[in-house]
Structure 1
Amino acid sequence: MKTIRDKHITVVGLGKTGQALAGFLNARGAKVTAVDRSPESALGDIPARLRRAGVEVVLGEHDPAAFESSDLIVLSPGVPHTLESVVRAQNAGVPVTGEIELASWFIHTPIVAVTGTNGKTTVTRLIGEMLNASGLNAFVGGNLGTPLISYAHGPMDADVVVAEISSFQLDTADMFHPGVGVLLNITADHLDRYPNLRAYGRSKAKIFARQTRADIAVLNRGDDLIMELTRDIAAAKCLFNQEEDAACGAWIENAQMRVKTPEHGEMTIAATEVPLPGRHNMENATAAALAALAAGASREGVLRGLREFVADPHRLQFVGRFHGVDYYDDSKATNVDAVVRAVAAVSFPVVLILGGRDKGGGYEDLVPVVKDRVRALVLLGEASAAIERELGGLVQSVRTDSMDAAVAAAADLAEAGNTVLLSPACASFDLYDNYAQRGEDFQRAVKQTGKRADGSQADNT
């Protein structure tokens, strides 16, 4: 349904993207109803603003009849497509779509789309930096910031759209067609929403569903599930994390990244050019380079974009050094694979702060890295007991009830030359609104603990 004028359209969810959806559809003549389970008191001035614009706003428990009377239902990214009211409406013949699908109906700018369990934001932003450094005008958004529908609501004057895309957004994608699609990795995450890892992976692989032989798929050769799920896609494949030379691909050899495409030949990038710690970020850099080159970047732009890149906060962010102990904020690590990569990237032994709201994936994959590199565990939040059952027998572990207590315990357990790492392997919603708030609280507690220790500032900030 690409004609929306005078259609009765229900937007589900009034977060940032839901508000943008309601505004976009309303401006194009649709009869919009925006629904959210939150009470009016929790949404500030959002309901009043939308009503003034002519949008009907319905709050509280969903009315299935209202959903079933719609011409179209559009879901915000965090709203599951398995919601009972949505499923009932769909079974009654009401089409259901999501924000990226709807936006793609109206966007004619070439799209680079990035998905994966870990590294999406870093790679999306790296691609944008590489394209901009090549003299192109790249819009960077999607799941990481500005919604795609906001781009569709504007002048759409970019040369390239670079979008981070989540599995939740891909669940409702049908005609979404990026010219360049990137799938970084598939590891256990969101298993509170998907029945198993394969189902989660299938959602990720939908990013390639509408690609043709003229398009490019950038894939992680080292991920067996990715290679299985993308075996029969139509797009031309460029593989990173290769073990050897390839016509289009990238590999890491002797602390150097080798990137090769048919159009640009081979380029070598020293590990020192990557301003981010860890081998996983070298892999991210090669994936970004392949995608950027496929989307029109120059070799010089790739190198400049990489050199000048500044990572987002809460992703292995160095906080400070107190009494010879380094403190890192990796609050964005909300799954086990991200924690494994983080622990491997910092100096060890590590005092590791874990915990939060469990996401259903288990913690057994942390066993090898805890045995090899972790001195002690400090546990925080709802998942503390579950983590202690699986990992507590490997090293000393301490359960705490606040970030202040967790940081104080970690400081007591660490010795000079150690690293204290917040890398939770869990969502933040038990104690915080989001991972950023959790990371900011960690940084505050670290700095206060350091000052209390001897009344001094950090050794090196």
Structure 2
Amino acid sequence: MNTLKQFPYEQVLVLGLAKSGAAAARILLENGKKVRVNDFKKEENNSTAQELRNFGIEVVTGGHPLSVLDDVEVVIKNPGIPYDNVIVKEAIHRNIPVITEVELAGLLTDGPIVGITGSNGKTTTTTLIYEMLRGSGEQAKLSGNIGTVASEVARESEPEDILVMELSSFQLLGIQTFKANVSVLLNIFEAHLDYHKTLNHYANAKAKIFENQTKDDFAVFNLDDDMVVQLVDQTNAQKIPFSATQPCKDGAWFDGNMVYFKEKPIIKRKDIVLVGEHNFENILAAIAAASLMGATPEAIRHVLTTFQGVRHRMQFVREFKDRTFYNDSKATNILATSSALNAFQQPIVLLAGGLDRGNDFDDLIPYLKNVKSMVLFGQTAEKIKAAGNMAGIERVEIVDNVEQAVQHAYAQSEEGDVILLSPACASWDQYRSFEERGDMFVRAVHKL
């Protein structure tokens, strides 16, 4: 078990529990820190709070009294808690640092870290890098937004372990010293503006992945995304581009037939089984990052000729009566759904809708050309219907939930159609997570 190194604080407030908060509290206690936990949920409905209290941690639940900041030297907040939260605002006012749990991960491990961020494609890219490294005999471990909490993985890691971390803008905004040996920035698209308020604030949060890198580190970046190209200028790391459209012989690139890393041929495009142009960019990023960490061309080829996607991200579910069903529940914004729609030539019955973050869906209209009908649900159903009507889609239905949507989609489909769940919205209006939403879709498909 690894211990915290160079963590200069003795009295810590953990704000918000969930998985990352509970992990941080336990690790801090193990390292002799004085820990206080504050969670808005009342204790009678909060088994994690009760468990931490049994460990001897001071726990305050059912609200956010400012007194929880008394004598505190640092706040470790749940990444999803916004910066206009009353405790966070007061901490900043008192000049108390506010960080996220991923900062602890960097202080707990002596091994290398590969950090992956971007608006879309993080989970797929992270999984590809992990599989490529494992296939090459490297001791890679998944952590962060995918799999286990980053600090828990780092706590148990060996110096030779490579931590492959999926990192959100929420996590990165709260780092001080955290550093990835290889950072990956996939793309920037307008997202999470309810949290970050402006696109620039959101992009700068993503760019913090470069902040502490040195000339001995690597920054893998998307040469085809203008905002990413601007942001990577901030890093001191060695810049490694990837591009699906232009040669970049110091990175990962494509000549129309063969994929290369630098001058080394890796795989023919036609041999890659993962569908979608957006996934091709993810593949190029993964090839670059994995190669820098020692993955072999043979292992990379094996992964790319067998890997068909992660759950809830363009996940093939089944073929039934010549209809093909795909679960893309992780498509929580317009760009992700646009990419999914671009992946198919067949007629599509689109299932979409979810949390209303205040945006319209006009940007989706150019990508609806293969959509023959739509079945919508959630808070944004009427807004997406308006976009569908503007795109000339004649059949648009609104239903109560994903399970009903599957039944209606199948009823209006024909042989040869793709039935695609790609919501273009977060799930929190009706479901606890995009995983829960996707699982409901999969169950409903199999019930057919």
Normalising by structure 1, we get a TM-score of: 0.91
Secondary structure, aligned partner of 1:276? coil
Deviation track 1:76-100 (CA, whole Å, cap 9, x = no partner) reads 2222233221121222122221111
Deviation at 1:251, TM superposition (A): 2.3
Q: 1:255, 1:41 → 2: CA distance?
A: 60
- Alignment CA distance shift 1:423-1:6 (3 Å): closer
Aligned counterpart, 1:59: 61
Aligned residues of 2:9 and 2:74 also touching (Cα < 8 A): no
Q: Which residue of 2 aligns with 1:15?
A: 18
The more displaced of 130-139 and 294-303 is 294-303
CA distance in 1, matches of 2:19, 2:166: 15
Distance 2:126 2:322 in 1: 34
- Deviation at 1:210? 1.1
Superposed counterparts of 1:184-333, under 5 Å: 184-260=186-262, 265-309=263-307, 311-333=309-331
Alpha-carbon offset, residue 187 of structure 1: 1.0
Q: Which residue of 1 aligns with 2:38?
A: 35
Q: Distance in 2 between matches of 1:136 and 1:154?
A: 17
Match of residue 453 from structure 1: none
Aligned equivalent of 2:161 = 159
Residues 317-376 of structure 1: per-residue CA shift (max 9 Å, x gap): 222233322111111111111101111113421111110112344312111011x21111
User: Which residue number corresponds to residue 456 of structure 1?
Assistant: none
**1:77 — aligned with what?**
79
Task: Tell which deviates more after alignment, 361-370 or 15-24.
Answer: 361-370
- Structure 2 CA distance for aligned equivalents of residues 419 and 58 of structure 1: 50
Verify the 8 A CA contact 2:350 2:422 in the aligned structure 1: yes
Structure 1 residues 319 and 244: CA distance shift in structure 2, 3 A: closer
SS at match of 1:292: helix
How far is the alpha carbon of 1:438 from its aligned partner? 0.8
Q: Distance in 2 between matches of 1:411 and 1:10?
A: 50
Secondary structure of the residue aligned to 2:196 is: coil
User: Structure 1 residue aligned with 2:380, among 380, 383, 395?
Assistant: 383
Cα separation, partners in 2 of 1:242 and 1:114, compared to 1, 3 Å:
same
Q: Is the 8 A contact 1:113 1:181 kept in 2?
A: yes
Give, in whole Å, the separation in 2 of the partners of 1:147 and 1:310.
Answer: 25
1:191/1:361 contact within 8 Å kept: no
2-structure distance, mates of 1:6, 1:196: 32
The aligned residue for residue 118 of structure 2 is 116
Deviations 1:7-54 (A, max 9, x none): 2211111111111101100001111111111122332x3222211211
Q: How many residues align?
A: 443
Q: Give me the whole-angstrom Cα distance separating, in 2, the residues matched to 1:155 and 1:417.
A: 48
Contact 2:337 2:424 in 1 (8 A): yes
Q: Deviations over 1:268-322 (max 9, x none)?
A: 3123443321122122111101001112222223223434435321111222233
* Distance 1:404-1:137 versus aligned 2 partners, 3 A rule: closer
Shift of 1:232: 3.9
2:109 touches 2:159 (CA, 8 Å); kept in 1?
no
Change (3 A) 1:121 1:423: same
Structure 2 unmatched runs, 5+: none
Distance 2:359 2:203 in 1: 14
Matched-pair contact (CA < 8 Å) for 2:244–2:280:
no
Q: Distance in 2 between matches of 1:369 and 1:70?
A: 51
Structure 1, gaps ≥5 residues long:
451-461
> Which position in structure 1 is the counterpart of 2:50?
48
**1:459 maps to which residue?**
none
SS in structure 1 opposite 2:355? Answer: coil
CA distance in 2, matches of 1:131, 1:114: 15
User: What is the RMSD of the two structures over their aligned residues, measured on CA atoms?
Assistant: 2.0
Native 8 Å contact 1:258 1:267 kept in 2: yes
3-state SS, counterpart of residue 72 of structure 2: coil
Tell me, yes or no, if the aligned pair for 2:365 and 2:390 is still in contact at 8 Å. no
After superposing the two structures, state which structure 1 stretch, 183-192 or 87-96, moved more. Answer: 87-96
The separation in 1 between residues aligned to 2:404 and 2:245, in whole angstroms, is: 45
- The answer for the alignment partner of 1:358 in structure 2 is 356
**Percent pairwise identity:** 38
1:419 aligns with 2:422: no
Which residue type is aligned with residue 284 of structure 1? N
Give the superposition deviation at 1:2.
6.1
* Alignment correspondent of 2:28: 25
Provide the residue aligned with 1:141 in structure 2: 143
Alpha-carbon distance between aligned partners in 2 of 1:38 and 1:326, rounded to the nearest angstrom: 42
- Residue 61 of structure 1 and its aligned partner are, at CA, apart by 1.1
Q: Which residue number in structure 1 is paired with residue 443 of structure 2?
A: 444
- Higher mean alpha-carbon deviation, 302-311 vs 393-402, is at 302-311
Which range moved further: 323-332 or 423-432?
323-332
Off by >6 Å, runs of 4+ in structure 1: none
Which residue pairs with 2:102 in the alignment?
A: 100
Contact 1:75 1:81 in 2 (8 A): no
Q: 1:6 to 1:357 in 2, by over 3 A?
A: closer
CA contact (8 A) 1:190 1:361 kept: no
Give the drift of 1:179: 1.2
* Aligned-partner residue type, residue 414 of structure 1: S
Partner of 2:408: 409
Secondary structure of the 2:137 match is: coil
CA distance in 2, matches of 1:173, 1:386: 37
**How far apart, in 2, do the equivalents of 1:140 and 1:306 lie?**
18
8 Å CA contact 1:352–1:423 kept in 2: the answer is yes
Distance 2:203 2:296 in 1: 32
Would the alpha carbon gap of residues 70 and 235 (structure 1) be closer, same or farther in structure 2, given more than 3 Å must change?
same
1:169 aligns with 2:168: no
Question: What displacement does 1:242 show?
Answer: 5.0
1:342 equivalent among 323, 340, 348: 340
Give distance in 1, aligned partners of 2:388 and 2:149. Answer: 39
- Equivalent pair of 1:68/1:92 in contact (CA under 8 Å): no
Equivalent residue for 1:179, pick from 178, 181, 184: 181
Q: Distance in 1 between matches of 2:6 and 2:218?
A: 30
1:377 maps to a residue whose letter is M
